[in-house]
Structure 1
Amino acid sequence: MRILEETISQSILSQGSNLTLAGEASAPSFSNWLFDCHGLLHNVTLILASLLFVLYLGFQARQSFQKLSHGRSYIMIAYYGCLWLVTVLNLAWSCAQAWECTAGKEMAWNLLSLFTTSGMLFLEVSLVAFLLQGNYASGLEALTKTFVVSGLVVGLDILLKAIYVFGFGIPLFIDSNDYTRHVKWDLWVVHRLLLTAVYGFIFVMYHSRWRERLPARPAFYKYVTVMFLLNAISLFACALTGNGAGFGLWLYGATIVCYHALYLPLLYITFLADFFQEDGLHLENVYYSEMRDAGFFDADWE
């Protein structure tokens, strides 16, 4: 009889402990969401950077809308709308970092990551397409060409990533302690290699006799230089991680943080900030100064 009572009591205690553990797992605390997975510095950096940029766009929204309505630039209107959409997606992605390490959230995390990264890639490709159209890219025709090319490239990229993630079950967007899947990192190597090659090509054009075919603005040159270096470092990190190097995974994570925290502000400064200045004469003087500093008028003195 005593043995039966001890058995029942042990069963009740084990069931109670299992219920407690299940309750803790199903209701993660705020500290777990903030500190776990990639850590405090990673999560706070992404959230603060994304939130600050959303607030900045919000404070500038009224003035920006007025400038867009008066300027009637199709390219600027479309790009500003896309920037807002991608910025909100990036903020949601930054705030949902804990999903990457939470069981049952893999599908939601993959979908959010796919849409966010594809939106940012669309902005990248469209700006590159605009640059390669040269100095006279403007109007509805340039907008159509830019968005058609960007849509085709990004659509193909989304299709390929969706097949990898949802068709083959390869965790492209889950990087925590994952450097053994060669198929995944081979894809990221090819992805970064293509971007590095494109930015490297434009970078070389700025230092060749074909630079006059590009927009005469040093801000674009600085943008291309930054993106070339970032993608080159990310390419190196993906190659290291694919070969099993733990440092490569850390370096790749650092490039992801830099990209999601700083790319959208860099894009705004490069492509949109000058357009939203109120003084048109001042804007023309800025463009002239940048062209003069870049040496585009040196031939006139020879």
Structure 2
Amino acid sequence: MQSLESITESPFPQNPNNSSSSSSSSSIGLYGWLVECHGFWHNLALIIPSLLFVLFLGFQAKKNFQKLSHGRSYIMISYYGCLWLVSLLNLVWCFVQAWECTPGKEMAWNILSLFTTSGMLFLEVSLLAFLLQGNHASGLQALTRTFVISGLIVGLDLLLKAIYLFGFGVPLFIDNSEHPRQIKWGLWVVHRLVLTAIYGSILFMYHSKWRERLPARPAFYKYVAFMFILNALELFACALTGNGASFGFWLYSATIVCYHAFYLPLLYITFLADFFEEEDMHLENVYYSEMKDAGFFDADWE
């Protein structure tokens, strides 16, 4: 009987099972990457805008590089390079959302999230530093001052998060609505409270006697208003989540999606798009003046 059983059980159950298990594991991996953890629509809302923005930067890169080389603006060249780097980091972060829920990937997810959020915060703080310098922000000295201030603030923020993350073991970037940690959400409340207060003070300046110290651009005001509302919502969401409210966790997730999907395009529209358009107008004026000096329009005065 044993020999018959061994004969009947042994023929080839292993190869089909191995192929089916490998195919099922690959399908489960693809399914888990796109659907599990946060859900299909959450991942789609992050990936599509981030991918489209990187593709947009790629299509505009040749033209923008030419304009930056002609303009010779140290601020714009440096900021454009930082925007490229952070956009690529953010795209990778959006693509690997499944790492947050994958055992063994916690360390990689925390490191990637730490550098991605720090890069976005650097762009955010440097734009605020540039904005608060008003119309006097130009040249290499302003660039150095802006980047030094932003680097010190973001470096201190990164160090504090790294201490909480790797020193005290607080999962800052791994969200769990079932077991909220008061320390984690308390830190995020303080973080968002500072940003909300800064944006609120700038909005107050726009409606006060200090308005002349700010750049006279409506796009900056719209940017500050949007960021004030977003940070206020995230502050409210963190406070609710820290107290165990499920609605607060949903609102926090929605604000995170909005920030990572739409902040970098908003930054480009606010700070860089006008520069490239103004550079086009500047070149047209240069060409017009050169043609006028060459006498092309002398016939119009006869």
Distance 1:104 1:28 in 2: 17
Letter in 1 for 2:205: M
Letter in 2 for 1:189: V
Instruction: Describe the SS at the equivalent of 1:103.
Output: coil
Spell out the pairing of 1:41-52 with structure 2 (5 A cutoff): 41-52=41-52
Call closer, same or farther: CA 1:207–1:180 in 2, change over 3 Å.
Answer: same
Cα deviations by residue, 1:36-68 (Å, 9 ceiling, x for unpaired): 011000001111111000000000000000000
Identity rate, percent: 72
Instruction: Describe the SS at the equivalent of 1:37.
Output: coil
Counterpart in 2 of 1:36?
A: 36
Q: TM-score, normalised by structure 1?
A: 0.84
Call closer, same or farther: CA 1:24–1:106 in 2, change over 3 Å.
Answer: farther
Call closer, same or farther: CA 1:51–1:233 in 2, change over 3 Å.
Answer: same
Distance 1:163 1:178 in 2: 24
Call closer, same or farther: CA 1:120–1:54 in 2, change over 3 Å.
Answer: same
Counterpart in 1 of 2:14?
A: none
Distance 2:136 2:247 in 1: 45
Spell out the pairing of 1:153-172 with structure 2 (5 A cutoff): 153-172=153-172
**Is 1:250 paired with 2:250?**
yes
Spell out the pairing of 1:50-69 with structure 2 (5 A cutoff): 50-69=50-69
Cα deviations by residue, 1:138-170 (Å, 9 ceiling, x for unpaired): 000000010000000000000000011111111
Counterpart in 2 of 1:197?
A: 197
Letter in 1 for 2:54: V
Q: Which of structures 1 and 2 has the bigger CA Rg? A: 2
Distance 1:252 1:67 in 2: 39
Contact 2:241 2:249 survives alignment (8 Å): yes
Unaligned runs of 5+ in 2: 10-16, 286-302
Spell out the pairing of 1:1-302 with structure 2 (5 A cutoff): 28-277=28-277, 278-281=279-282
Distance 2:218 2:256 in 1: 26
Q: Report how far residue 279 of structure 1 moved.
A: 2.6
Contact 1:47 1:94 survives alignment (8 Å): yes
RMSD over equivalenced CA pairs, Å: 2.4
Distance 1:177 1:22 in 2: 33
Unaligned runs of 5+ in 1: 10-16, 285-302
Contact 1:241 1:247 survives alignment (8 Å): yes
Instruction: Describe the SS at the equivalent of 2:136.
Output: coil
Q: Report how far residue 176 of structure 1 moved.
A: 3.4
Q: Report how far residue 129 of structure 1 moved.
A: 0.3
Letter in 2 for 1:84: W
Contact 1:185 1:238 survives alignment (8 Å): yes
Q: Report how far residue 24 of structure 1 moved.
A: 6.9
Counterpart in 2 of 1:292?
A: none
Q: Report how far residue 178 of structure 1 moved.
A: 4.9
Counterpart in 2 of 1:299?
A: none
Call closer, same or farther: CA 1:202–1:77 in 2, change over 3 Å.
Answer: same
Contact 1:196 1:231 survives alignment (8 Å): yes
Contact 2:237 2:248 survives alignment (8 Å): yes
Contact 1:239 1:248 survives alignment (8 Å): yes
Q: Report how far residue 136 of structure 1 moved.
A: 1.4
Q: TM-score, normalised by structure 2?
A: 0.84
Letter in 2 for 1:202: I
Distance 1:84 1:283 in 2: 28
Distance 2:239 2:177 in 1: 16
Cα deviations by residue, 1:223-281 (Å, 9 ceiling, x for unpaired): 00000000000000000000000110000000000000000000000000011125325
Contact 1:179 1:246 survives alignment (8 Å): no
Contact 1:179 1:241 survives alignment (8 Å): no
Letter in 2 for 1:279: D
Contact 2:177 2:241 survives alignment (8 Å): no
Letter in 2 for 1:240: L
Letter in 1 for 2:117: T
